[in-house]
Structure 1
């Protein structure tokens, strides 16, 4: 029987003399199959004292990392998985600062140091940004495995040169070391390592029964030595090293593509039921999990694109997105306790019809039916936007309605992830032409307003059976050409829709993205309530609403002017 990796973990933290603890740390020691496929993860973050919200940054960084890392594709290497997750977290923290009152002073925003240790098979993978440190204890001596990203100006003045949330782009250090039984790794913040030496840490580990007690002893000694900062330390001892795994070799980290899936075939613990659709980009089949009897959807990459690295990268991102976006209006990924032997995605089976089919079956829906569907789609899109993601391919075929009338967004092949997706690779990943926002045709990157545009097109189409602009919109590839585009009003002589609904759609479908709604909630609200701007713009003049009051008011004003002039003459 293969030998599995086994470790012991201990930790301690204290706010010290500070009012609050801006450090945060965590660890995950999973069971199989995650223990073999993803390994054991530890992470530590340290906020900066100049910020009142950096403790929130620290908690978000560590919690997000430990959750999202285990959602990444099994076919990714540890290095690829961690770097994508941490860059995504960095982009989120940077956006939080940018959209907050702290945006004018960077050092008061959502910033924290970050260090992570991932042990998989017989290798330790180290990731680092900032001045939190990772050590390895060897023969009673501490070996520092990370470099401090801090510039010292004087004894009193120093500052971080690298950390999460400082810049939109993140550079993170990486190194790997082979594991040996008995190795002990230490993660510590500066409130610890600046006030206690390696021998004291080594003695604390050797002289106490558990690593938790050893960590507590180190913190207490650092406090006694005058530590004036938050104090945090994590200890990990390797009790057993796993057997060598071939997938630790970098060039063999990619899982092989699956064979052609046909009905009644058994595949990786699933029985294939039937094809759902086959395209040039992917093959999708309906299957049953033989262990749980759950009906699922399996998506496999196109064999024609097996050598296209960019395509495979996008394909593998889909599962990570599905696991990260936890919302009832977004199709969810299905996890299995079995080891995966091929590259494929498994998602929930939504028993129902696409919105495209629903529109065919319901060519003249009521306004309330449209609102009900659009509001659910908006909730799903909001879950993407909260994660700094843009769906980019919202269209009726990518929206499902199940037998309970719950609406769900599917297909994340074009989704943009801030900090992770390479903008240069987005050129051909902008959705379907009739639903794509005009800025895409100018070669610009999408924003959440681009998803709002697509949702508004769908709303317009459901209410009218038409599109808001002519097919020439895709040929308008200059600002001047787009300015000449004319919005076709939803309202005609036979329309019973309120005028203010058309006003809401007109705003959501502005060619210039800066003139559109900035938030989905604004658009959804205005579909149910007349916007105050619309009411004031379309308010009937007083002379038409009440001519008597109008002329009485004019008479009073004229009389007041005459009286004022008479007084002036006297």
Structure 2
């Protein structure tokens, strides 16, 4: 059967037979979703083989295939293929193992709910392979087959082997994973041992060449040949051919929203797409934001429309489209919430909850010397919002005081998603613009300037910079970060202790900030929770830290004193020579 999306085009053929066995313990399947899941999650081809020593292993193989084809497509679209598939397989393994423990075969894993498992997910221009057991995936290379998977079999003797790994054997599972680039014309073969142990490579490749127009027939021919040559096991073969791949950045993830016309600038009291405009709240080179009232519900909302100056910039419009897509996948009281869609939209804009409050930038101007507990409370809330992004495999990348709102109850909310990087979307539609530094320089982690990309620790760096600024009124590295052009520049960054002036910042708080703001991301805290924990609980390692060297605390004074010392030494030497 042939299936295609707007960019990804494939053909699939498959066939399975119980062979000389009384029951077919193999199970296989494939799923080709419609857009936008086709672009965001890809096409899955799955094969499982139950172990022959178990009378219930066909239940395990069927459950493994069905749960993968169902649950994989229920995982977040923002997740990578690797993360989504691994979580599903870990859950499936746990369930199969638990079923065995509840059965009469609780202490005999060779008779429990156990099966091998192999899957290929083709997304954009990449094929992602997940494998445990002894099914195989081959790539056709001319008249030969290149084996892409390893058999997890332990050889005892020439007559005896057993599975070293399979789903359901143990509470935890180790899954082989690899990703490889695909091109039009690539052909992949998935097969159980009942097929590949009895049919040679030359027969397979000649069959594929002869039945290129009917891959189901090719799969059936290979299965029948394995049976004819004496296969004594269940026999299953799946064939996947790549007929076309999408162009860079062409994934259809917005479901037609990208085709909506751009709205005009809005005026107070005007009716716009079911909203009555009250006033403009904010205008910048990046967007225009208005306070409006939903005429159906009476709800106060904020409407954000694209900047007039950037409407001819495709990269900007793509990021604008992403903002609502991202907001609908984040669920946190500390992240701006989008409005539910109750009617058809006629223009390109974003409608969100309206928050009465002020930006953290304005709050800092109004509260130049906040108490430590208030700062910690704000940092805790923003960290909770960032963790909601990170759980979805998203990086904010532009955390700064202007992108944090403090409402009248003191609740902090992250409000701007224009620079957010979504791992699953980048994987679906790689784009050169993804490498662009979108954050505000003063709050951006050094690794971005080195072209290394970001991580959750990069967002931590930005949050620590904001925390430092709330406590001191300054930035930890001033304008030094903007001058980074290479790794040596990054290592030359000099952290200025938060307790350098008359503000009573405890030394252990300064220690937590210093670590979170380290130029090397590997030397920062493991995660945001560890950072916020250290802001409330003194780390003994910081309490025992010796006094910061003068050259770091005040380089100018250090060199002045050095110069005076050298001058005094020269005078003393001259006097000594003159006395002689």
Same fold (TM over 0.5): yes
> What does residue range 139-538 of structure 1 map to in structure 2 within 5 Å?
151=139, 166-167=177-178, 254-421=259-426, 422=430, 424-492=432-500, 494-535=502-543, 537=545
Q: Secondary structure at the match of 1:300?
A: strand
Structure 1 pair 425–404 and aligned structure 2 pair: CA distance change class (3 A): same
Separation of aligned partners in 2, 1:404 and 1:57: 49
> How far off is 1:295 after superposition?
1.3
> How far off is 1:418 after superposition?
1.4
Separation of aligned partners in 2, 1:22 and 1:329: 43
Q: Secondary structure at the match of 1:303?
A: coil
* 2:80 maps to which of 89, 101, 106: 89
Structure 1 pair 486–402 and aligned structure 2 pair: CA distance change class (3 A): same
TM-score by length of 1: 0.58
Task: Check the 8 A contact 1:283/1:299 in 2, yes or no.
Answer: yes
Task: Check the 8 A contact 1:129/1:149 in 2, yes or no.
Answer: no
Structure 1 pair 251–89 and aligned structure 2 pair: CA distance change class (3 A): closer
Separation of aligned partners in 1, 2:462 and 2:392: 19
Structure 1 pair 113–42 and aligned structure 2 pair: CA distance change class (3 A): closer
| Residue in structure 1 matched with residue 107 of structure 2 by the alignment | none
> How far off is 1:281 after superposition?
2.1
TM-score by length of 2: 0.57
Separation of aligned partners in 2, 1:406 and 1:369: 11
Separation of aligned partners in 2, 1:400 and 1:317: 20
Deviations 1:35-73 (A, max 9, x none): 9xx9xx9997747679x99989986885564575xxxxx
Q: Secondary structure at the match of 2:328?
A: helix
Separation of aligned partners in 1, 2:64 and 2:409: 38
Deviations 1:11-52 (A, max 9, x none): xxxxx9999999999999xxxxx99xx9xx9997747679x9
Task: Check the 8 A contact 1:91/1:418 in 2, yes or no.
Answer: no
Q: Secondary structure at the match of 2:480?
A: helix
Q: Secondary structure at the match of 1:343?
A: coil
Task: Check the 8 A contact 2:72/2:84 in 1, yes or no.
Answer: no
> How far off is 1:458 after superposition?
0.5
Q: Secondary structure at the match of 1:305?
A: coil
| Residue in structure 2 matched with residue 212 of structure 1 by the alignment | none
Task: Check the 8 A contact 2:443/2:466 in 1, yes or no.
Answer: yes
Structure 1 pair 483–287 and aligned structure 2 pair: CA distance change class (3 A): same
Separation of aligned partners in 2, 1:521 and 1:109: 38
Structure 1 pair 42–448 and aligned structure 2 pair: CA distance change class (3 A): closer
> How far off is 1:381 after superposition?
0.6
Task: Check the 8 A contact 2:27/2:62 in 1, yes or no.
Answer: no
Structure 1 pair 506–42 and aligned structure 2 pair: CA distance change class (3 A): closer
Structure 1 pair 296–434 and aligned structure 2 pair: CA distance change class (3 A): same
> How far off is 1:537 after superposition?
4.7
Separation of aligned partners in 2, 1:363 and 1:353: 15
Task: Check the 8 A contact 1:295/1:348 in 2, yes or no.
Answer: yes
Q: Secondary structure at the match of 1:261?
A: coil
Indicate the RMSD between aligned Cα atoms, in angstroms: 5.1
Q: Secondary structure at the match of 1:450?
A: helix
Q: Where do 5+ consecutive residues of structure 2 fail to align?
A: 1-21, 51-59, 94-114, 131-135, 151-174, 185-189, 196-232, 237-251, 548-580
Task: Check the 8 A contact 1:90/1:168 in 2, yes or no.
Answer: no
Task: Check the 8 A contact 1:256/1:342 in 2, yes or no.
Answer: yes
> How far off is 1:337 after superposition?
2.2
Q: Secondary structure at the match of 2:425?
A: coil
Separation of aligned partners in 2, 1:529 and 1:57: 47
Task: Check the 8 A contact 1:299/1:346 in 2, yes or no.
Answer: yes
